[in-house]
Amino acid sequence: MAVTPQQAVDAANDAYGRHPGYRALHAKGTLLKGTFTATQQAAVLSRAAHFQGDPVPVTVRVSNGSGHPRSPDYAPDVRGLAVKMYLPDGSRTDIVAQSAPRFPIRTPEAFLEMLRATSPSPAAAWRMPLFLLRHPEAIPCLPANLSALAPPASYATIPYYAVHAYLFLDGQGGSRYVRYSLHPEAGQARLGPRRARRGGRDYLQEEIRERVQRGPVRFMLELQIAAPGDAVDDPRSHWPASRERVSAGTLEITELDTSRERDGDVLVFDPTRVTDGIELSDDPVLRFRPQAYSDSVARRTAS
């Protein structure tokens, strides 16, 4: 039976508790701002406004995947990088990415099972093997994803993957599917568990605040371009490494954003918030996500 968005958010709440005012997942994070500047290659691939080369302002949120707002930063976890771009016509478009390179399942139902299997509880010992028995297709993703759970030295020293395919429409009537990933200019660095623990429960939030005060934090937005026949509606699918990769631009984070999410301001990053020049694929996980996010927003903003 199809799961509902409410059931998805219930599963997150069951795993991490209910925390009024906080996101059901990725509850702990830091808001930042900066700009995104596209390359010429991006303008060739999509007519979208933010890919034409003029810098656009952005809000960025870095986060831990846990639904607990006080999750220790040193705990093994996926990390999130969400970007909201403010377009010249007043509209917005979002990119929502996380640090696990492979997405192991292809339906919202399986996502719920995975959430239950990976949530911190004594039952986790048998839930995970059971989940893998029911979803053996997730097993090949494990090695890459497990190493991505190691605590990073900084939110600025790991890559992030947006998982789903999007259709890019150019100005000449051409189109192709692409996938986004964001790569840190600072290079990759992770910490061993002991060193991460020595940093304290909030070391990632503190580190990123200090880092942006010292100078801009940059990520390169990379596009991997699908070839005919590549699966574009399956978030599990992994296109061959030989597929063309293009640098689409630079995300430059310059300061903390202390103006948002206060005095009733609600900020939502939605992977289906696209703009002219970008269309959604029929990926069932992508199509399900905004409904679950809306339910989480309704709960976190309920007074």
Cβ-defined contacts of 296-303 (< 8 Å, 24+) = 296/9, 296/12, 296/23, 296/24, 296/25, 297/266, 297/268, 299/9, 299/18, 299/20, 299/24, 300/20, 300/21, 300/22, 300/23, 300/24, 301/266, 302/20
Does residue 82 interact with ligand HEM by CB under 6 A?
A: yes
Three-state SS string over 185-244 comes to CCCCCECCHHHHHHHCCCHHHHHHHHHHHHCCEEEEEEEEECCCCCCCCCCCCCCCCCCC
Contact 273, 286 (CB under 8 A): no
If the CB atoms of residues 11 and 49 are measured against ligand HEM, the closer one turns out to be 11
Residue in 46, 59, 63, 250 binding ligand HEM, rule: CB under 6 A: 63
Residue 163 in the binding site for ligand HEM (CB under 6 A)? yes
Choice from 34, 104, 108, 151 touching ligand HEM (CB under 6 A): 108
26 is catalytic: yes
- C-beta closer to ligand HEM: residue 43 or 60: 60
26 strand-pairing partners? none
Please choose, out of 22-30, 120-128, 181-189, 225-233, the segment that lies near ligand HEM by the rule CB under 6 A: 22-30
Among residues 36, 51, 111, 177, the one that binds ligand HEM under rule CB under 6 A: 111
Q: How far is the CB of 143 from ligand HEM (least distance, A)?
A: 19
DSSP state, 41? H
Catalytic residue among 19, 26, 164, 238: 26
| Nearest position to ligand HEM, beta carbon | 80
Structure token digits, residue 10: 């219930």
Q: Which is nearer to ligand HEM, 52 or 237 (CB)?
A: 237
**Least distance (Å) between residue 240 CB and ligand HEM:** 20
Calpha distance 55→151 (Å, rounded): 32
Amino acid at 92: R
Q: Does 84 bind ligand HEM (CB under 6 A)?
A: no
- Residue 303 to residue 21: CA distance in whole angstroms: 9
Residue 257 corresponds to which amino acid?
A: D
| Smallest separation (angstroms) from ligand HEM to the CB of 66 | 11
Least distance (Å) between residue 53 CB and ligand HEM: 26
Judged by CB under 6 A, does residue 83 bind ligand HEM? no
Residues within window 131-160 making contact with ligand HEM, judged by CB under 6 A: none
C-alpha 288: how far from chain center? 15
Q: Which helix (H) or strand (E) holds 283?
A: none
29 binds ligand HEM (CB under 6 A): yes
Query: Rounded to an integer, what distance in angstroms lies between the CA atom of residue 217 and that of residue 206?
Result: 14
User: Is residue 25 part of the contact set for ligand HEM (CB under 6 A)?
Assistant: yes
At its nearest, how many Å lie between ligand HEM and the CB of residue 267? 7
The binder of ligand HEM chosen from 16, 36, 74, 103 (CB under 6 A): 103
Please report how close the Cβ of residue 26 comes to ligand HEM at its closest, in angstroms. 3
CB-side exposure of 261: number of CA atoms within 13 Å? 21
Where along the sequence are the contacts to ligand HEM (CB under 6 A)?
8-9, 12, 23-26, 29, 61, 63, 80, 82, 96-98, 103, 108, 111, 162-163, 268-269, 285, 288-289, 292-293, 296-297, 300
Give me the active site residues, please.
Answer: 26
